[in-house]
Structure 1
Amino acid sequence: MTDADQIIDALRSGHVHLAALVRGLPANDLTRRSGAADWDVSQVLSHLGSGAEIALAALEAALDGAAVPGGDFNKEVWARWDAMSPAERAAGFLTANETLVARYEGLDARTRKELRIVFGFLPAPVDVTTAARMRLNEFALHTWDVEVAFDPAATLAPAATEPLLDQVSMFLGFITKAEALNDRPVAIAVRVTSPDRSFGLSVADAVALTDEPAQPDAVLSAPAEWWLRLASGRHAAEHTPATVTLTGGKLTLDELRGVFTGF
C-alpha cells in the first residue's frame, strides 16, 4: 500500500465515522460550542463542507488540465455555506465530503503517483499524497472539534495519526509563537507512542523539529495523537490525558502550550 492509498483510506474511515455522528445529531446539538473556540458544531461542518468543495475543484482542474478556480470562487463557496442554517450545513457536509472522498478513491494507481494539483496558497503544485494528507490533517483535527463538544476525552482517529506525524513541520511557522518563551531557547526531546517516534523540538528564534537532542532541556512524553493536537492548539488541560508528561524543570506544560497557537 502506498502513502496515497493509506491516506485516502483514512479519509474514507474518517468520513464514515463523522458522518455517523452527524446524522444522529438533533438540531440543538448542531449549535453547541465546538472544540474550535469561535465556531459551533455546524460551523465546523460548514468549514469542512466548503473545504471539500474547494479541494474537489482543485482536483478536478488538475485532472482536466485546466486552471484552478481563483479566489472569487472560494469566496462564493464560503458565502453560500455561511448563509446556510445549521441543519443545511450538516446535510451539505455529508454530501460534499462524500463526493471528495469518492473522487480520491476513484483515482487509479498511475494518477495517484503522477498527478500534480495546484493550490493557490502553495508555491508549487503538489502530488496526490500531499494534497490528500493536507485534507486529512484538516479533516481529522476538525472532526475532533466536533467530537469534543460531546466527549471531553475525544482523541484523533488512529488511522489519521501516523500519516499526519510527517506533516507537522510544514505548518510550524504558521501555528507557533516562539516569543511565548520570552527569548528563552529550549531544546526538547519529544517521545510519542502509538506509533512510537522520537525527535527533537527546538524553540529559539523560531520553532522547528530536529533530531532528538543528546542533552535536552526537557522531555515531552505523550500519545502521538496528543502531540498532533498540541501542535494544532487543541491542548487544553481538560483535554490532556494523564499519560502526558513534561520533565526537566526548564519549562512547564502550560508554557509549552503557549508556543502552539494553533488554528
Structure 2
Amino acid sequence: MTDRADRTIDALRSGHDYLTAVVHGLASADLTRPSGASGWDVSQVLGHLGSGAEISLAVLEGALNATGLPDGDFNKSVWARWDALSSLERAEGFVTANDALVSRYEGLDAQTRRELRVDLGFLPVAVDVATVAGVRLTEFAHHTWDVEVAFDHEAPLLPAVTGLLLDQAGGFLDFLGKADALDARPVRIAVHTTAPERTFGLEVGNAITLTDEPDRPDAVLNAPAEWWLRLTTGRHAPAHTPSEVSLSSASLTLDDLRRVFPGF
C-alpha cells in the first residue's frame, strides 16, 4: 500500500511540475479561453484546482492533527475567495496552493503513508493516503486535460498518470456515473484498452461496477486507456474522441455510454 501511495505522490509532483510549466507559458488572453470544463475558462479551471488544493490540504492536516474535517463554512469561504480573483491571480495562486499540497504529501514518512486514515466527508469510511492522493490525482489529471484541450482538441490525458488512474478507476465509477441513464439494464460491456493494454468488464445495472470480462457481452468497447478514463469523467465529446475508439453492439451506442457518465 505504501508503494501505491509513493507512486501516486510522485505522479502528483510530476503533474504539478508539468501544469506549472504550461501555466507559465500562457499569455493573459489564454487564461480567458474556453476550457474543456463546460462553462469555465482556463483560469477558472486553475482556480478550481487551486481552491481544491487548499481544501485538500486542510482535510489532510485535519487527519494528521486528529482535528477532523474543517467546519461546513470553510469550503464556501475558500471558493468565494478564489472566485473573486482575477484570471492572472487564479493562475499564480494555483501554482502556490498546489505546490503546498504536493509538498505536504511528499513530507509524509513511510509509516504515515501506510497507517494514516483520512475522512474525506463524502465516502462512507476514512481511507488511506494512497486513496486520498489518488482522488486528488484523478481530479488534477482531468482538469489538466481541461486546460490543454483549450489549445489542442486532440490532447490526451497525461501518459505518465494513465496507468495509475486506470488501476483505481473502478472504485469511483458508481459515484461518477448514472446507472439509470440506460433504460435497458443490466448491460454488460467488454472493455479492451491500449496504452496500457487491459481487458475487463463494465456492468451497468442497479449500480455501475467493473467485473471480469463477460463471456457474452452486450457490447465490446475498444479504446485508448486515456479515453476510457475521460469517458468515465464526462470528457468524451465526439470532437475529443480518437478514431481508435469503437463500440460493437446491436443495442448500445457510444452516446448511450456518454449519458451514463455525464462528468464533473
Which TM bucket (shorter chain)?
A: over 0.9
Identity in percent: 65
Change (3 A) 1:66 1:142: same
**TM score, norm. by length of structure 1:** 0.95
- Aligned-partner residue type, residue 218 of structure 1: A
Distance 1:76 1:246, change over 3 A: same
Q: What residue number does 1:203 align with?
A: 204
Counterpart secondary structure, 1:72: helix
Structure 1 counterpart of 2:220: 219
Name the counterpart of 2:89: 88
Query: Structure 1 residues 178, 67: closer, same or farther in 2, change over 3 A?
Result: closer
Change (3 A) 1:122 1:207: closer
Partner of 1:79: 80
Q: Which residue of 2 aligns with 1:112?
A: 113
- Check the 8 A contact 1:81/1:89 in 2, yes or no: yes
Give the structure 1 partner of residue 135 of structure 2. 134
Quote the offset at 1:79 in angstroms.
Answer: 0.7
Q: Distance in 2 between matches of 1:259 and 1:226?
A: 15
Shift of residue 36, structure 1, vs aligned partner: 0.5
Q: Alignment RMSD, CA only?
A: 1.4
Counting only pairs closer than 5 Å after superposition, residues 172-251 of structure 1 correspond to structure 2 as 172-251=173-252
Distance apart, 1:176 and its partner CA = 2.0
* Structure 2 CA distance for aligned equivalents of residues 185 and 112 of structure 1: 39
The residue aligned with 2:124 is: 123
SS state at 2:250 partner = coil
**Offset of residue 169 of structure 1:** 2.7
| Per-residue deviation, 1:168 | 2.3
**What do the CA deviations read for 1:158-194 (whole angstroms, capped 9, x no partner)?**
2211111233233322322233332254211001111
Indicate conservation of the 8 Å contact 1:175/1:232, yes or no.
yes
Post-superposition CA distance 1:7-65 (Å, at most 9, x none): 01110110111111111111111111110012111111111000000111111222222
Answer whether contact 1:183 1:205 (CA < 8 A) is retained. Answer: no
Q: Which moved more, 1:219-228 or 1:196-205?
A: 196-205
1 CA distance for matches of 2:68 and 2:25?
39
Pairs aligned (count): 263
Task: Name the aligned partner's letter for residue 142 of structure 2.
Answer: L
Structure 1 counterpart of 2:42: 41
Stretch moving more, 177-186 or 201-210: 177-186
Q: Which residue identity lines up with residue 227 of structure 2 in the other structure?
A: W
Cα distance in structure 2, aligned partners of 1:185 and 1:208? 11
Output the CA distance in 2 between the equivalents of 1:202 and 1:228. Answer: 16
Give the TM-score normalised by structure 2: 0.95
Aligned AA (1:5): D
Give, in angstroms, the shift of residue 70 of structure 1.
Answer: 1.4
Which residue pairs with 1:3 in the alignment? 4
Unaligned runs of 5+ in 2: none
Partner SS state of residue 100, structure 2: helix
Which whole-Å CA distance do the structure 1 matches of 2:208 and 2:121 have between them? 25
CA contact (8 A) 1:188 1:216 kept: yes
Q: Distance in 2 between matches of 1:238 and 1:105?
A: 37
Give the match for residue 54 of structure 2: 53
Single out whichever of 118-127 and 237-246 deviates more from structure 2. Answer: 118-127
1:214 and 1:206 map into 2 onto residues whose CA distance is: 20
The answer to whether the 8 Å contact 1:190/1:219 transfers is yes
Give the direction of change, closer, same or farther, for the CA distance of 1:13–1:218 in structure 2 (3 Å limit): same
